Structure 1
Amino acid sequence: MRKIEFVSCHRLPERSFFFRGKQFPFCARCTGIYVGYAIFIPALWFIKIDIYWALLAILPTTIDGLTQAYFNRESNNFLRFTTGILAGYGLAGLSDFIAYWIVHFFKYLFVN
Protein backbone atom coordinates (compact mmCIF):
# COMPACT_ATOMS: atom_id res chain seq x y z
CA MET A 1 0.00 0.00 0.00
CA ARG A 2 1.35 3.41 -0.96
CA LYS A 3 1.34 6.32 1.45
CA ILE A 4 0.55 9.88 0.54
CA GLU A 5 3.87 11.64 1.08
CA PHE A 6 3.58 14.87 -0.93
CA VAL A 7 1.40 16.64 1.62
CA SER A 8 2.85 19.00 4.19
CA CYS A 9 0.77 17.94 7.19
CA HIS A 10 2.01 17.05 10.67
CA ARG A 11 -0.35 14.00 10.90
CA LEU A 12 -0.28 13.92 14.68
CA PRO A 13 -2.47 11.05 15.91
CA GLU A 14 -4.16 13.19 18.58
CA ARG A 15 -5.15 15.73 15.92
CA SER A 16 -6.36 13.22 13.34
CA PHE A 17 -9.48 11.18 12.72
CA PHE A 18 -9.49 7.40 12.79
CA PHE A 19 -11.71 5.04 10.81
CA ARG A 20 -11.83 1.34 11.68
CA GLY A 21 -8.67 1.71 13.73
CA LYS A 22 -6.65 3.37 10.97
CA GLN A 23 -5.50 6.98 11.07
CA PHE A 24 -6.52 9.32 8.26
CA PRO A 25 -3.57 10.38 6.10
CA PHE A 26 -4.15 14.04 7.11
CA CYS A 27 -4.92 15.85 10.36
CA ALA A 28 -8.49 16.98 11.10
CA ARG A 29 -7.84 20.52 9.80
CA CYS A 30 -6.32 19.35 6.51
CA THR A 31 -9.14 16.82 6.11
CA GLY A 32 -11.62 19.70 6.48
CA ILE A 33 -9.75 21.80 3.93
CA TYR A 34 -9.79 18.96 1.38
CA VAL A 35 -13.48 18.30 2.04
CA GLY A 36 -14.11 22.02 1.52
CA TYR A 37 -12.25 21.89 -1.79
CA ALA A 38 -14.19 18.83 -2.89
CA ILE A 39 -17.51 20.49 -2.10
CA PHE A 40 -16.92 24.03 -3.27
CA ILE A 41 -14.70 23.74 -6.35
CA PRO A 42 -17.52 22.04 -8.33
CA ALA A 43 -20.00 24.53 -6.82
CA LEU A 44 -18.00 27.40 -8.33
CA TRP A 45 -19.43 26.49 -11.74
CA PHE A 46 -22.81 27.68 -10.44
CA ILE A 47 -22.06 30.16 -7.64
CA LYS A 48 -19.38 32.84 -7.62
CA ILE A 49 -17.75 33.80 -4.34
CA ASP A 50 -16.81 37.40 -3.64
CA ILE A 51 -13.11 37.84 -2.79
CA TYR A 52 -13.98 39.38 0.58
CA TRP A 53 -16.15 36.39 1.57
CA ALA A 54 -13.34 34.06 0.49
CA LEU A 55 -10.80 35.85 2.66
CA LEU A 56 -13.25 36.03 5.55
CA ALA A 57 -13.87 32.27 5.32
CA ILE A 58 -10.13 31.57 5.70
CA LEU A 59 -9.92 33.71 8.86
CA PRO A 60 -11.39 31.21 11.41
CA THR A 61 -8.82 28.56 10.49
CA THR A 62 -6.04 31.11 10.72
CA ILE A 63 -7.21 32.29 14.13
CA ASP A 64 -7.64 28.73 15.43
CA GLY A 65 -4.21 27.66 14.19
CA LEU A 66 -2.37 30.74 15.42
CA THR A 67 -3.99 30.76 18.86
CA GLN A 68 -3.04 27.10 19.24
CA ALA A 69 0.54 27.74 18.17
CA TYR A 70 1.23 30.93 20.12
CA PHE A 71 -1.17 31.08 23.06
CA ASN A 72 -0.92 27.53 24.41
CA ARG A 73 -4.58 26.89 23.55
CA GLU A 74 -5.74 23.41 22.60
CA SER A 75 -8.49 23.06 20.00
CA ASN A 76 -10.54 19.95 19.29
CA ASN A 77 -10.84 17.93 16.11
CA PHE A 78 -14.43 19.03 15.43
CA LEU A 79 -13.39 22.71 15.50
CA ARG A 80 -10.31 21.99 13.37
CA PHE A 81 -12.43 20.10 10.82
CA THR A 82 -15.19 22.73 10.71
CA THR A 83 -12.83 25.67 10.30
CA GLY A 84 -10.93 23.60 7.73
CA ILE A 85 -14.10 23.26 5.63
CA LEU A 86 -14.52 27.04 5.77
CA ALA A 87 -10.90 27.48 4.70
CA GLY A 88 -11.47 25.06 1.81
CA TYR A 89 -14.45 27.18 0.77
CA GLY A 90 -12.39 30.36 1.00
CA LEU A 91 -9.37 28.92 -0.80
CA ALA A 92 -11.58 27.60 -3.59
CA GLY A 93 -13.10 31.07 -3.98
CA LEU A 94 -9.66 32.68 -3.88
CA SER A 95 -8.37 30.26 -6.52
CA ASP A 96 -11.38 31.03 -8.71
CA PHE A 97 -10.76 34.76 -8.34
CA ILE A 98 -7.08 34.42 -9.25
CA ALA A 99 -7.82 32.16 -12.22
CA TYR A 100 -10.45 34.60 -13.49
CA TRP A 101 -7.99 37.50 -13.47
CA ILE A 102 -5.18 35.47 -15.04
CA VAL A 103 -7.47 34.48 -17.92
CA HIS A 104 -8.60 38.07 -18.42
CA PHE A 105 -5.02 39.32 -18.26
CA PHE A 106 -3.93 36.97 -21.04
CA LYS A 107 -7.03 37.76 -23.08
CA TYR A 108 -6.12 41.43 -22.82
CA LEU A 109 -2.52 40.74 -23.87
CA PHE A 110 -3.23 38.56 -26.86
CA VAL A 111 -6.66 39.60 -28.13
CA ASN A 112 -6.23 43.38 -28.11
Structure 2
Amino acid sequence: MKNFLYKWLPIVFGCHCRDDRSFHYKGEKFPICARCTGELVGIIFSIFSCFFFKISILAIVILMLPLILDGGIQMFTSYESNNFKRFVTGLLFGYGLFMFIAVSTVATFKFGQHMGYNILK
Protein backbone atom coordinates (compact mmCIF):
# COMPACT_ATOMS: atom_id res chain seq x y z
CA MET A 1 0.00 0.00 0.00
CA LYS A 2 2.82 2.37 0.90
CA ASN A 3 4.55 1.89 -2.46
CA PHE A 4 1.24 2.47 -4.24
CA LEU A 5 0.66 5.77 -2.39
CA TYR A 6 4.22 6.98 -2.93
CA LYS A 7 3.93 6.22 -6.63
CA TRP A 8 0.41 7.46 -7.44
CA LEU A 9 -0.34 10.36 -5.07
CA PRO A 10 2.30 12.63 -6.68
CA ILE A 11 0.93 11.76 -10.12
CA VAL A 12 -2.72 12.37 -9.18
CA PHE A 13 -1.95 15.69 -7.49
CA GLY A 14 0.74 16.82 -9.94
CA CYS A 15 3.01 17.30 -6.93
CA HIS A 16 6.62 18.47 -7.12
CA CYS A 17 7.42 16.46 -3.93
CA ARG A 18 10.12 18.88 -2.79
CA ASP A 19 11.68 17.73 0.47
CA ASP A 20 11.74 21.22 2.00
CA ARG A 21 8.02 21.70 1.29
CA SER A 22 6.89 18.31 2.60
CA PHE A 23 5.97 17.01 6.01
CA HIS A 24 8.13 14.35 7.63
CA TYR A 25 7.06 11.71 10.15
CA LYS A 26 9.65 9.64 12.02
CA GLY A 27 12.28 10.79 9.55
CA GLU A 28 10.29 9.76 6.48
CA LYS A 29 8.96 12.25 3.94
CA PHE A 30 5.26 12.23 3.07
CA PRO A 31 4.54 11.11 -0.52
CA ILE A 32 3.22 14.58 -1.43
CA CYS A 33 4.09 18.13 -0.33
CA ALA A 34 2.34 20.03 2.47
CA ARG A 35 -0.01 21.86 0.10
CA CYS A 36 -1.07 18.66 -1.69
CA THR A 37 -1.46 16.92 1.69
CA GLY A 38 -3.87 19.70 2.67
CA GLU A 39 -5.74 19.28 -0.61
CA LEU A 40 -6.06 15.54 0.02
CA VAL A 41 -7.39 16.09 3.56
CA GLY A 42 -9.81 18.76 2.26
CA ILE A 43 -11.11 16.46 -0.47
CA ILE A 44 -11.60 13.59 1.99
CA PHE A 45 -13.38 15.89 4.45
CA SER A 46 -15.64 17.33 1.74
CA ILE A 47 -16.62 13.87 0.46
CA PHE A 48 -18.22 13.18 3.83
CA SER A 49 -19.56 16.67 4.54
CA CYS A 50 -21.13 17.36 1.12
CA PHE A 51 -24.13 15.25 2.12
CA PHE A 52 -24.82 17.45 5.14
CA PHE A 53 -23.83 20.96 4.02
CA LYS A 54 -24.83 22.94 0.96
CA ILE A 55 -22.39 25.64 -0.12
CA SER A 56 -22.73 28.48 -2.60
CA ILE A 57 -20.45 29.02 -5.59
CA LEU A 58 -19.28 32.29 -4.01
CA ALA A 59 -18.22 30.44 -0.85
CA ILE A 60 -16.42 27.85 -2.97
CA VAL A 61 -14.47 30.58 -4.80
CA ILE A 62 -13.58 32.22 -1.47
CA LEU A 63 -12.31 28.87 -0.16
CA MET A 64 -10.10 28.43 -3.22
CA LEU A 65 -8.62 31.95 -3.28
CA PRO A 66 -6.07 31.59 -0.44
CA LEU A 67 -4.15 28.85 -2.27
CA ILE A 68 -4.21 30.78 -5.52
CA LEU A 69 -2.92 33.91 -3.77
CA ASP A 70 -0.33 32.15 -1.58
CA GLY A 71 0.99 29.99 -4.42
CA GLY A 72 0.88 32.80 -6.96
CA ILE A 73 2.65 35.32 -4.74
CA GLN A 74 5.26 32.70 -3.86
CA MET A 75 5.79 31.83 -7.52
CA PHE A 76 6.21 35.39 -8.77
CA THR A 77 7.96 37.12 -5.84
CA SER A 78 10.65 36.35 -3.28
CA TYR A 79 7.97 35.57 -0.66
CA GLU A 80 8.41 32.11 0.86
CA SER A 81 5.40 30.48 2.50
CA ASN A 82 5.74 27.89 5.26
CA ASN A 83 4.38 24.35 5.45
CA PHE A 84 1.59 25.29 7.87
CA LYS A 85 0.25 27.96 5.47
CA ARG A 86 0.65 25.56 2.56
CA PHE A 87 -1.32 22.88 4.40
CA VAL A 88 -4.14 25.25 5.42
CA THR A 89 -4.48 26.80 1.96
CA GLY A 90 -4.40 23.31 0.43
CA LEU A 91 -7.08 22.14 2.87
CA LEU A 92 -9.39 25.02 1.94
CA PHE A 93 -8.71 24.54 -1.77
CA GLY A 94 -9.28 20.77 -1.64
CA TYR A 95 -12.56 21.25 0.21
CA GLY A 96 -13.68 23.92 -2.26
CA LEU A 97 -12.57 21.91 -5.28
CA PHE A 98 -14.56 18.83 -4.39
CA MET A 99 -17.58 20.91 -3.39
CA PHE A 100 -17.36 22.67 -6.78
CA ILE A 101 -17.33 19.29 -8.52
CA ALA A 102 -20.30 18.11 -6.41
CA VAL A 103 -22.33 21.30 -6.95
CA SER A 104 -21.66 21.37 -10.70
CA THR A 105 -22.48 17.66 -11.05
CA VAL A 106 -25.83 18.13 -9.30
CA ALA A 107 -26.58 21.26 -11.35
CA THR A 108 -25.72 19.46 -14.60
CA PHE A 109 -27.94 16.53 -13.65
CA LYS A 110 -30.85 18.83 -12.79
CA PHE A 111 -30.38 20.77 -16.03
CA GLY A 112 -30.39 17.55 -18.06
CA GLN A 113 -33.44 16.32 -16.19
CA HIS A 114 -35.25 19.60 -16.88
CA MET A 115 -34.33 19.44 -20.57
CA GLY A 116 -35.54 15.84 -20.75
CA TYR A 117 -38.90 16.77 -19.24
CA ASN A 118 -39.29 19.59 -21.77
CA ILE A 119 -38.62 17.22 -24.66
CA LEU A 120 -41.28 14.80 -23.43
CA LYS A 121 -43.97 17.50 -23.22
User: TM-score, normalised to structure 2's length?
Assistant: 0.86
> How many angstroms does 1:92 deviate by?
2.0
Find out whether 1:90 has 2:96 as its counterpart. yes
2:70: which partner in 1?
Answer: 64
Find out whether 1:21 has 2:27 as its counterpart. yes
Which structure: larger Rg? 2
- Amino acid in structure 2 at the alignment position of 1:88: G
Find out whether 1:6 has 2:6 as its counterpart. no
Q: How far, CA to CA, are the matches of 1:6 and 1:13 in structure 2?
A: 16
Q: Which is worse superposed, 3-12 or 56-65?
A: 3-12
Which has the larger share of helix? 2
Which has the larger share of strand? 1
1:49: which partner in 2?
Answer: 55
Is the contact between residue 40 and residue 89 of structure 1 (CA under 8 Å) also seen in structure 2? yes
Give the fraction of aligned pairs with identical amino acids, expressed as a percent. Answer: 39
> How many angstroms does 1:69 deviate by?
0.2
1:39-92 CA-to-partner distances (Å, cap 9, x unmatched) read 122101011011100000000010000000001110000000011111112112
Q: Which of 1 and 2 has higher RCO (CA within 8 Å, sep 6+)?
A: 1
The counterpart of 2:45, out of the listed 39, 63, 83, is: 39
Find out whether 1:107 has 2:113 as its counterpart. yes
Is the contact between residue 50 and residue 93 of structure 1 (CA under 8 Å) also seen in structure 2? no
Q: How far, CA to CA, are the matches of 1:37 and 1:45 in structure 2?
A: 13
1:11-56 CA-to-partner distances (Å, cap 9, x unmatched) read 0000000112111111100100110111122101011011100000
> How many angstroms does 1:111 deviate by?
3.2
RMSD: 1.3
1:75: which partner in 2?
Answer: 81
How many residues in Structure 1 have an aligned counterpart in Structure 2?
112
For structure 1, the residue ranges without an aligned partner over 5 or more in a row are none
